[in-house]
Copies of this chain bind each other. A is one copy, B any other.
Amino acid sequence: MTKPAAIALPNLVHLGDASNFLEEIHAVLGPMPIFEGFAAAEISTLCDYMDCYAAATGASVLNEGDEGDFLLLVLTGSVQVIKHDPESGEKLVSEVGPGAFLGEMSLLDGLPRFASCIATSPTDVAVLHRDDLIGIVAGHPDIGTKVLLLLLQLLTRRLRSATTRMLPTLESNLV
Contacts and interface: CB of A to CB of B under 8 A. Distances in A.
Interface of A: 33-35, 82-83, 85, 87-93, 104-105, 108-111, 114-115, 130, 134, 137, 141, 144-145, 148-149, 151-153, 155-160, 162-170, 172-174
Given A110-B34, A148-B148, A162 B155 contact: no
Contact of A169 (B82, B92, B104, B165): B165
A120 B152 CA distance: 29
Can you tell how many copies of this chain the complex includes?
A: 2
Contact of A109 (B33, B165, B169): B33
A90 B174 contact: yes
SS class, residues of chain A in contact with chain B: helix
Scoring A92, A144, A145, A152 by chain B CB atoms within 10 A of each residue's CB, the highest score goes to: A152
